[in-house]
Chain A
Amino acid sequence: MKTYDVAELALRNLRESVLRNSLTTIGISVGVASLVAMLALGIGLQKLADRRLEKSGLFDTVIVTSRRELRNFNHEQEGTGPAPAESPSLDETARLSIAQLPNVLEAYPDIRLVTELRFEDKPHLTMIAGLPSSAKNNEAFDGMAGSFFSSPTAPEVILQKSFAEQLLGKSTKDDENIKVSDLAPSLLGKQLLMRYAERTAAADSTGAQNDSGAAYSVISREQILKIVGICDLDPDSLRQQARARVFLPLEFAENLHVLQPSDLRDTSNVLGGKPTYSTVEVRVQSPKYVQAVEDSIKKMGFNTFSIVDATKNLRQFFAVLDLFLGIFGSLALAVASIGIVNTLVMAILERRREIGIMKAIGASDVDVKGLFFAEAGVMGIFGGAVGVALGWTIGRVINLGANVYLKRQHFPPEQIWYVPWWLVAGAIAFAIVVSLISGLYPASRAARLDPVQALRYE
């Protein structure tokens, strides 16, 4: 029989016992829906985690330090590469060549200083750091009160919540639930006075400016800063104890020429001359490039630090999670496949005589087998399509419910649910394959039916 004849006859046979076949198809749909729902949840959670990690800036960042800096993150790197005294300086030239590496988005100097800030004539000592404009998308600023810097050179500051509390004389210990929005009215738009040490080129005996590393002047300066934002989370958490609680626009901070600890060290450096950075932060396009970028930077003679290994473990975790969700989702489909076998075996009993007639008038085993196979396949196609739609709907509902919950907990809405096109296609294909496998036994049983016996059957 030709394919379209098989399909046509299969469809008309399915229509003949529409209730039973519909129930079987619904069984497949439920199986596919549970599979789609489970996997879409797994994929959605993985995407959510990826998104969060990307926004956190933790996993796509490489911190570069000079090997000359002996107080460093990675002491194990001391044994490799050039000796500290022979290693290159982490200066502007080095920063630019790092920024040129493939898959590097940006490389910017880490400018931080411990200094005194005056607020309403009361001094507060803290760590201040420069923030690049790209940090605006960092998740730490998601629940921020106020706004990000108006420009990279504006004399503005963003405060971390704990420092804001300190300025107002409050402590988290008194009240665990202080919100940034409670602190904002008394701080936003107010001014802070920052004291800092500026490195300026020293005037030599001839009066000409001298930019030699060994000779510079340090001048105490003051700068008025405007508070524009208070953030709840900690943008600088990677630094642990050295993390800053007050942030300036990076370009503005650079232009202040604040004396850096490396400046003092380089006073005794024979290579000395230009100012160097104690740390350069490198942002990489995606966490998967971090290792390659780190290797390239190490070859240039610098020390690097990242927490890329954590993402590898995370991916493994999600692979296992998806596997388990998939297995649980498939269980319902396995049950549905037994339903298909049952339905088709029943159909053989019911249509025994019909099969006998078809064989008597010239149907081959292949024709009969094909017919039952096609019926299983059609149930698979319909079951798969309806199941995907059902699974998608279930997912939407779960997503909606989760977002209502998140909203109550004062979190921004999230897409914890994701149905990629390959899941849609894969689920339907899987349903068809499972249905066809279920149809194997009934189809071959129908094909082997003895026509003489079948014709006697009433």
Chain B
Amino acid sequence: MSSVVRPKPTQPVAISTNNLCRYYRMGEAEIRALDDLSLQIRSGEFIALLGQSGSGKSSLLNLLAGLDRPTSGSVVVQGHDLQNLSRQDLAKYRLKTVGMVFQSFNLIPSMTVAENVELPLRFAEIDRDKRGALCQQALDRVGLGARIRHRPTELSGGEQQRVALARALINQPQILLADEPTGNLDSRTGTEIMNLIRDFNESLGMTVVVVTHERALAERYAKRMILLADGKLLDDQPNIVPSAEMTRGGMR
């Protein structure tokens, strides 16, 4: 029996973009990174954003993350138009509503694993005595509970990305945005990371948007694949996702 997973119409819309445009100026030339993009992402979806480099997938992710503002159009997340948020509120949105992981991990090298994971708790003004337990919990979840005193440079790439995932998880956001999370990892480690992300999606109910250019990886994990080219939506289709057991069993 085929298991086509369509976005359940019963689930509320978590993210919607409406005629979203993001143009950059490069001297005289205008680069249209995103051109009139409209899409809806329902709560609990696992989405792969595919496309060649320069197709606009990272620009879209930055707009969804509230790191950048659109040239025109809007991004509405959980009913809030990001355009209407002040810089301060946008920072709060990045802190509480979305978690981000990057291709290059983006850990602060001078801080230990625990301090890196703790940083969003500091920004969220969580009491000092509660932070230790929260960090430990998040690091246990990514399987790094024993390495909290290490510096990022003492860890492998996969381990660093796990720390980044724990950091993205720490304030319990509903949305996880991942920009090429396996781009700097070998395929085995990449699979481990993607398994973790799927775990977040399934057991925590997080909405996940993963930017990747590896079609195979997208097909293996995502429930819906969105293909971008030249800043426009080229294809948007549900994916037949192999069962979790098969991938966890080490299928390559």
A52 contacts chain B at the CB level, 8 A cutoff? no
Contact of B120 among A4, A356, A362, A366 (CB under 8 A): A362
- At the interface, yes or no: B96 with Cβ under 8 Å from chain A? yes
Q: With an 8 A cutoff between CB atoms, is A357 at the interface?
A: yes
The answer to whether B123 touches A16 (Cβ under 8 A) is no
* A354 CA to B110 CA, complexed, in Å: 10
Contact between A360 and B94 (Cβ–Cβ < 8 Å)? yes
Q: Is the CB of A360 within 8 A of B108?
A: no
- Count of chain B residues with Cβ under 8 Å from any Cβ of A? 28
Closest residue to B109 on the A side, CB-wise?
A: A354
Chain B 194-223, CB within 8 Å of chain A: the 1/0 string? 000000000000000000000000000000
Chain A, range 6-21, C-beta contacts under 8 Å to B: 9, 12-13, 16
Task: Give A353's nearest chain B residue, CB to CB.
Answer: B106
Q: Within residues 82 to 109 of chain B, which ones have a CB less than 8 A from any CB in chain A?
A: 87-88, 91-92, 94-96, 100, 102, 106-108
Is B155 engaged at the interface, CB distance under 8 Å to the other chain?
no
Quick check: A363 and B123 within 8 Å, CB to CB?
A: yes
User: Which residues of B have CB within 8 Å of A366?
Assistant: 88
Residue pair B100, A1 in contact (C-beta under 8 Å): no
Q: How far is the CA of A9 from the CA of B119 in the complex (A)?
A: 10
Residue of chain B at shortest CB distance from A447: B87
Most chain B CB inside 10 Å of its own CB: which residue of A360, A362, A363? A362
B136 on the interface (CB 8 Å rule)?
A: no
Query: B110 touching A361 by the CB < 8 A rule?
Result: no
Partner of B67, one of A354, A359, A367: A359
**Cβ-neighbour of A362 out of B102, B128, B171 (below 8 A):** B171
Judge whether B122 is part of the interface by a CB distance below 8 angstroms.
Answer: yes
The 0/1 profile, CB within 8 Å of B marked 1, for residues 171-191 of chain A is 000000000000000000000
Contact assessment for A452 and B62 in the assembled complex, using a CB-CB cutoff below 8 Å: yes
Shortest Cβ distance from B97 into A: residue: A362
A120 CB, min distance to chain B CBs, angstroms: 91
CA distance A366 to B87 in the complex (A): 10
B125 within 8 A of A: yes
Q: A364-B88, A452-B62 are in contact. Are A1 and B125 (CB under 8 A)?
A: yes
Q: How many A-B residue pairs have CB under 8 A?
A: 69
Give the total of A residues in contact with B, Cβ under 8 Å.
25
Is B81's CB within 8 Å of the partner chain A? no
Q: Which residues of B contact A356 (CB under 8 A)?
A: 106
Chain A residues contacting B87 (CB-CB under 8 Å) are 364-365
Q: Taking the complex as formed, is A402 at the interface, i.e. its CB lies under 8 A from any CB of chain B?
A: no
Q: Which residues of A are found within 8 Å of B102, using beta-carbon distances?
A: 360, 455
The docked-state distance in angstroms from the alpha carbon of A2 to that of B125 is 6
User: For residues 362 through 390 of chain A, which have their beta carbon under 8 Å from a beta carbon of chain B?
Assistant: 362-367
CB–CB A361/B95 < 8 A = yes
Q: Which of B67-90 contact A (CB under 8 A)?
A: 67-68, 87-88
Q: Cβ of A361 and Cβ of B122 under 8 Å apart?
A: no
Contacts of A367 in B (CB 8 A): 91, 123
**Given contacts A1-B122, A2-B125, is CB(A362)–CB(B91) below 8 Å?**
yes
- Partner of A360 from the list B100, B110, B122 (CB cut-off 8 Å) is B100
A451-B67 in contact (CB<8A)? yes
User: Contact at A364–B92, with CB atoms within 8 Å?
Assistant: yes
Inter-chain CA distance A16–B92, complex, in Å, is 28
Q: B95 — which chain A residues lie within 8 A by C-beta?
A: 361-363
* CB of A358 within 8 Å of the partner chain: yes
Contacts of A433-451 to chain B: CB distance below 8 A: 451
Known contacts: A1-B122, A367-B123, A452-B67. The answer to whether A361 contacts B100 by CB under 8 A is yes
Q: Does A5 contact B (CB under 8 A)?
A: yes
Cross-interface CB contact of A357 among B65, B68, B106, B122, cutoff 8 Å: B106
Complex CA gap A360/B65 in Å reads: 8
Contact surface of B with A, Cβ cutoff 8 Å: 62, 65, 67-68, 87-88, 91-92, 94-96, 100, 102, 106-108, 110-111, 119-120, 122-125, 128, 167-168, 171
Q: Can you sample 23 A-B contacts with CB below 8 Å?
A: A1-B122, A1-B125, A2-B122, A354-B108, A358-B108, A358-B123, A360-B65, A360-B94, A360-B100, A360-B102, A360-B106, A361-B95, A361-B120, A362-B94, A362-B171, A363-B91, A364-B91, A364-B123, A365-B87, A365-B88, A366-B88, A367-B91, A452-B68
Q: Other than A362-B94, A366-B88, A367-B91, give 10 A-B pairs with Cβ distance below 8 A.
A: A1-B123, A5-B122, A12-B111, A357-B107, A360-B65, A360-B106, A361-B100, A364-B88, A365-B91, A452-B62
